[in-house]
A and B are shown apart, each in its own frame.
Chain A
């Protein structure tokens, strides 16, 4: 009985870990194309008409790096709960901006993963982003995950504090 419970807990932890890795990878992939061409990305943001023009260049410079570091931190498991909160925030903003433009009857390039792709915004892209948001929520409220850099740091910290060898803990 106890063994079965442990096995269940293990499976859940694996699912949470996979959700964390997947959400991190998604954001990392999405950021790479935007990092290299902030000028093109600023035109994409402009097309969404959600930000005042004066904030567009700053957003074009900051958002790709925010995506990059949030994705990286999620993937390696460093400050992953804070990163997943940011991830959820980003996905909520993206879903809102897509929905807003669709409701206003605007059809334009999504610019979600690649700025050169001709993928147009649609209810499918909104659904995809909401799916990504669920993945982020799963990570955010996960009790614990495997292969997180945070756990390693914790273990190192405890071992240093007690001066006990790492493998004995």
Chain B
């Protein structure tokens, strides 16, 4: 199609024989030169990176429990949106959070149908009981350190796709959960930003109770 339009632009003057073996050789030479230059530059560049892949640091769970104690929360004073009706005025995605891959509703449904991913519900256990995506594990992001020892042993394959969700775009629990999982060395974590409200609104299957 593109070639046809190209042909019409040039009024049959384009000569496809222009692209001969020497053109491929030129391209290959540029490729080799750029590769060698890039690797050499990286060696001497102050912001250079390790060429061998190093997975994100995975701390032992006991170390996490020792080092990161979550601040005590008073009942009734939770600034995060913890129900679909409360909009969080404090949450603004920072550039770091914004680099997390997001899933659309169709993307989440597709993975749900294929049973290819693990869904994690980052909302509170009470909200999880009221309704959740079937098969999703309850992993309240605000109590990561307490829940991690029960859930993380079930997530042995760190390359398997994990999808975190919460109350939709007004909620940052799924982002916090995703970031903490990435810190633990999980390499394929995505956030379903539409979350529970979008899933429910679409009329997709739901489960109630504390069982996945």
Contacts and interface: CB of A to CB of B under 8 A. Distances in A.
B202 interface: no
Contacts of A60: 49
B47 A44 contact: no
Interface string B39-76: 10110010111111101000000000000000000000
Interface string A10-52: 0010010000000000000000000011110011101101000
Nearest to A89: B27
B53 A53 contact: yes
B137 interface: no
Interface residues of B, number: 59
Interface string B102-120: 1111111111000000000
Given A86-B27, A134-B2, A141 B47 contact: no
A76 interface: no
B103 A134 contact: no
A160 B81 CA distance: 76
A42 B6 contact: no
A81 B53 contact: no
A133 interface: yes
A58 interface: yes
A7 to B, nearest CB: 13
Interface in B1-28: 2-3, 5-6, 9-11, 13-16, 18-19, 23-28
B91 interface: no
Given A68-B34, A107-B102, A138 B6 contact: yes
Interface residues of A, number: 55
A85 B23 contact: yes
A142 interface: yes
Contacts, number: 157
Contacts of B109: 105
B157 interface: no
Nearest to B15: A143
A62 B30 contact: no
A83 interface: yes
Contacts of A142: 14, 18
B34 A62 contact: yes
B110 A62 contact: no
A125 to B, nearest CB: 15
A57 B19 contact: no
Contacts of B5: 134
Contacts of B13: 9, 12, 143
Given A56-B53, A86-B27, A106-B190, A39 B18 contact: no
Contacts of B110: 104-105
A82 B37 contact: no
Contacts of A9: 13
Nearest to A52: B53
Contacts of B24: 82, 85
A130 B3 CA distance: 12
Contact of B99 (A43, A55, A57, A64): A43
Q: Please list the 3 inter-chain residue pairs (A to B) with the smallest Cβ-Cβ separation, ordered nearest first.
A: A105-B107, A82-B26, A65-B38
Given A53-B55, A79-B30, A85-B27, 13 more contacts: A12-B13, A38-B47, A61-B41, A61-B49, A61-B51, A62-B39, A65-B37, A81-B19, A81-B26, A86-B31, A118-B95, A141-B10, A143-B13
